[in-house]
Amino acid sequence: MDYVLAGHDFFADIDDETAKLIIQLQLDDIEYSSSKGKGRADDVSDISIAFKMQKEELENIALFLSDQRMTRSIASAVQTDGAVLTEAASRDDALVRDRSMALQLYRGTSTPATTPHVPPPVAPNTQILNEEVL
């Protein structure tokens, strides 16, 4: 998988768990290294700014990866459950029409000459989503 953030390629061809571990280890290193300062508390050094910027970048990458995992999960659920949901919606539509006809017949307001045409369920889009789309 290719992870692109701010125009850079990160973690090309690395699985999600490995990428997550690499980021966490780098964040741990930053935390350890930045806590060993010997200067004044209000003194801002170049190295502390660099650590802060690197930490922010790694946190952004971690958030990006998390969002991408969630997107893939949602897409997979939609593909898996799409046909079932389409069929259930079609059944609900038929039930609503049947109830409406029954009420019309009961009230005597309109007597349909024929049974209304119920369209067949719409076939779900079974296109397989590739990694580039996600």
Q: Contact 86/80 with Cβ under 8 angstroms? A: no
Say if pTM beats, i.e. exceeds, 0.85.
Answer: no
Give the span between the Cα atoms of 54 and 27, in whole angstroms.
9
What DSSP string describes 79-132? HHHHHHHHHHHHHHHHHHHHHHHHHHHHHTS---SSPPP-PPPPPP--PPPPTT
pLDDT tens by residue, 94-115: 999 999 999 989 888 765 555 5
Query: pLDDT above 70 covers what percent of the chain?
Result: 66
Q: What is the pLDDT of residues 11-55, one digit of tens each?
A: 667 888 999 999 999 999 999 988 766 655 666 788 889 999 999
